[in-house]
């Protein structure tokens, strides 16, 4: 339900009452609710995409339609057959039965970059697991986020879902957000947003799934199909004007194929900047004092970014490419820029390329995503072992590859965990499975090896680990 003033206690009371009703629903009823919500969201994919673009001015509405499709159709197909009620697994040999139960009320923070698709995604996985959801939109995209929540709620009520199973607010201050996250009745925070907000979620005392920054390095190894790589990179980095956190941020190209890649990128609408243009662009897209990209440039087209920087490019320019010779604060375009801008590095060999990728990975992108174009299995494995990334995408667009479900079999998700590198609890693509409490009934299954052991040996300090191991296994 909507609200023009924030009463945290009232919202939480509604959510806890909904949770009590939700816990009584069976799988069939739950699935009917989820299906109705999925259909309503997918039916409104275009209208909500247009509304999101109109309200935020970010990206373009056509790509936002695809985001809405990923968050509805692909997510629904991924979770529709998942058991989330009652017994969900039995292992007779081990004597373990698994029972699923809901977590309870979930607080969902929604980013401006994906204001409707993230709402659809979080609602579907929450309802599938019988968890009431409280939507907290970004202040600059509250209208479209709340409209997405409203139509989902009405569809859920049409299948006799609990009242208040979805709630949303018009605006929530920082203090109110913190009070909501710390409320003792809240079960989980799904925090998709900026670093400060995610950190606050993890510091709230309530369990949280968060995300991290995605400074994605892309290694173009000499065995790669270069025209294909150029096509995939343009497809990904220009998707919704670069607003996907898994989008490419820097290309690291082996010298042997650099000239060919430059030609292929240029032929597809990329424009390589000269040193002065690179300097000018860096000044307008990156806040040196804060150490992050400037919010006003997120999701803007390449010609607009060029004009902001003080130079003109052809209106059909799709991507600005900035050759750099270093990584770090002195090279602002080597950081995460959620816009159609790519840093470009040339490396003489595999070792040098890997070192550059490591530097980029650790300059604000650990745990997120790394990309490689290669047909050399040895190079791919070497790259993977050097990257601190939850997702290592091979020969595919990084944006679409990272969110999953389009060109790979990762779970489609709008919340991409970054593990310890991104100060998150998991590297998974968050999905419905993460929103369940799993109880395990364990039946007696005697450990015969332990029972057969001479227990006195454990108290004998002269018996070492090798001897204990032999005794443990002696009869088997």
Confidence of residue 3 (pLDDT cuts 50, 70, 90): very low
**Tens of pLDDT, residues 312-360:** 999 999 999 999 999 999 999 999 999 999 999 999 999 999 999 999 9
Does residue 378 lie in a domain region? yes
* 24 and 167 both lie in a single domain: yes
* 190 and 282 both lie in a single domain: no
Residue 42 has pLDDT above 60, yes or no: yes
Does residue 415 lie in a domain region? no
Structure confidence at residue 198 (pLDDT): 86
Does residue 299 lie in a domain region? yes
Residue 143 has pLDDT above 50, yes or no: yes
Residue 1 has pLDDT above 80, yes or no: no
**Tens of pLDDT, residues 152-175:** 999 999 999 999 999 999 889 999
Does residue 451 lie in a domain region? no
CATH code (residue 314): 3.40.309.10
The stretch 281-289 carries a mean pLDDT of 95
* 118 and 229 both lie in a single domain: no
Confidence of residue 476 (pLDDT cuts 50, 70, 90): very low
Which domain range does residue 145 map to?
A: 8-210+430-437
* 147 and 220 both lie in a single domain: no
Structure confidence at residue 2 (pLDDT): 43
Active-site annotation, residues: 245
* 15 and 126 both lie in a single domain: yes
* 202 and 242 both lie in a single domain: no
* 281 and 347 both lie in a single domain: yes
Residue 97 has pLDDT above 70, yes or no: yes
Residue 282 has pLDDT above 60, yes or no: yes
Confidence of residue 5 (pLDDT cuts 50, 70, 90): low
The stretch 393-407 carries a mean pLDDT of 98
Structure confidence at residue 171 (pLDDT): 87
Structure confidence at residue 433 (pLDDT): 97
Lowest mean pLDDT among 116-130, 241-255, 443-457: 443-457
Does residue 41 lie in a domain region? yes
pLDDT above 90: percentage of residues in the chain: 93
Does residue 416 lie in a domain region? no
Does residue 460 lie in a domain region? no
Q: Are 106 and 435 in contact (CB under 8 A)?
A: yes
Lowest mean pLDDT among 82-91, 152-161, 181-190, 449-458: 449-458
Q: How many domains does the chain have?
A: 2
Q: Is 416 exposed, middle or buried (0-12, 13-18, 19+ CB in 10 A)?
A: buried
Residue 254 or 423, more confident: 254
Does residue 419 lie in a domain region? no
CATH code (residue 169): 3.40.605.10
* 223 and 103 both lie in a single domain: no
pLDDT averaged over the chain?
Answer: 96
* 343 and 392 both lie in a single domain: yes
The stretch 396-409 carries a mean pLDDT of 97
* 17 and 163 both lie in a single domain: yes
């Amino acid at each position: 339900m909507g609200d023009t003033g924030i009463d945290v206690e009232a919202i939480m009371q509604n959510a806890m009452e909904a949770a009590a009703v939700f816990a009584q629903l069976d799988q069939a009823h739950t699935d009917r609710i989820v299906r109705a919500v999925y259909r309503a969201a997918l039916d409104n994919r275009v209208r909500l995409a247009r509304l999101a673009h109109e309200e935020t001015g970010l990206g373009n509405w056509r790509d936002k339609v695809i985001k809405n499709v990923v968050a509805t159709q692909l997510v629904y197909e991924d979770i529709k057959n998942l058991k989330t009620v009652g017994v969900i697994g039995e292992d007779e040999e081990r004597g373990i039965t698994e029972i699923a139960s809901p977590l309870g009320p979930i607080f969902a923070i929604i980013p401006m970059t994906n204001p409707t698709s993230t709402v659809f995604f979080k609602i579907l996985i929450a309802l599938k697991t019988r968890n009431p959801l409280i939507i907290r939109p970004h202040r600059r995209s509250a209208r479209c986020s709340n409209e997405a929540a409203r139509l989902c709620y009405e569809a859920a009520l049409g299948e006799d879902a609990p009242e208040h199973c979805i709630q949303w607010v018009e605006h929530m201050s920082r203090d109110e957000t913190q009070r909501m996250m710390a409320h003792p009745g809240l079960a989980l925070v799904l925090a998709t947003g900026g670093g400060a907000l995610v950190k606050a979620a993890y510091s709230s005392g309530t369990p949280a799934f968060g995300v991290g920054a995605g400074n994605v390095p892309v290694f173009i190894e000499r065995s790669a199909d270069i025209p294909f790589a150029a096509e995939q990179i343009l497809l990904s980095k220009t998707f919704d004007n670069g607003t996907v956190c898994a989008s490419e941020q820097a290309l690291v190209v082996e010298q042997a194929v650099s000239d060919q890649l430059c030609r292929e990128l240029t032929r597809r609408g990329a424009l390589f900047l000269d040193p002065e243009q690179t300097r000018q662009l860096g000044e307008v897209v990156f806040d040196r004092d804060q150490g992050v990209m400037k919010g006003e440039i997120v999701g803007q087209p390449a010609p607009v970014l060029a004009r902001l920087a003080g130079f003109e490019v052809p209106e059909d320019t799709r991507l600005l490419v900035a050759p750099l010779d270093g990584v770090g604060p002195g090279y602002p375009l080597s950081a995460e820029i959620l816009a159609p801008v790519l840093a470009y590095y040339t490396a003489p060999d595999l070792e040098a390329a890997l070192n550059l990728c490591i530097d980029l990975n650790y300059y604000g992108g650990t745990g997120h995503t790394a990309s490689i174009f290669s047909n050399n299995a040895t190079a791919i494995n070497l790259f993977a072992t050097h990257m601190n990334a939850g997702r290592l995408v091979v020969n595919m667009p990084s944006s679409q590859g990272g969110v999953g479900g389009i060109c790979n079999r990762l779970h489609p998700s709008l919340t991409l965990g970054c593990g310890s590198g991104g100060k998150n609890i998991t590297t998974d693509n968050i999905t419905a499975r993460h929103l369940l409490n799993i109880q395990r009934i364990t039946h007696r299954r005697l450990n015969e090896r332990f029972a057969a052991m001479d227990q006195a040996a454990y108290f004998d300090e002269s018996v070492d680990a090798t001897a204990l191991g032999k005794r443990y296994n002696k009869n088997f």
